[in-house]
Amino acid sequence: MDNKKDNRQPQTKAKARLLKGIVFSDKMNKTIVVVVTRLKKHPKYKRRYKVTKKYKAHDEKNEYKIGDKAVIQECRPMSRDKRWIAISKT
């Protein structure tokens, strides 16, 4: 029998990221496209500029419409592009 101690630390789950954006498309069944706009600062010139990115999110009940403000949460991959769930309207 081994009397060695187990020095491994218990793994903790990473906190799921939340993003706020506007619904850009609701044409797909149970999927919405959310546009998230961020302000970035140029490293040299210090000017702020907008960066937008589109995320596909799961909408189980097809309740989100174009123009709605939505909060999406990171989750396991549901398809090739879909890794977010729509959790609430703001």
pTM (predicted TM-score)? 0.81
Report whether 74 contacts 17 (CB < 8 A): yes
Residue 65 lies in a domain: yes
Query: Is residue 1 in some structural domain?
Result: no
Overall domain count for the chain: 1
CA distances from 56 to 5, 11, 20 (A): 45, 29, 13
> pLDDT confidence of 1, banded at 50, 70, 90?
low
83, 72 contact by CB (below 8 A): no
55 burial level (CB within 10 Å; 0-12, 13-18, 19+): buried
The residue written with tokens 């000017």 in the block is 47
Mean pLDDT, the chain, rounded, equals 93
Domain that holds residue 69: 18-89
5 lies in a domain?
A: no
CATH code: domain of residue 64: 2.40.50.140
Residues 54-88 pLDDT 10s: 999 999 999 999 999 999 999 999 999 999 999 99
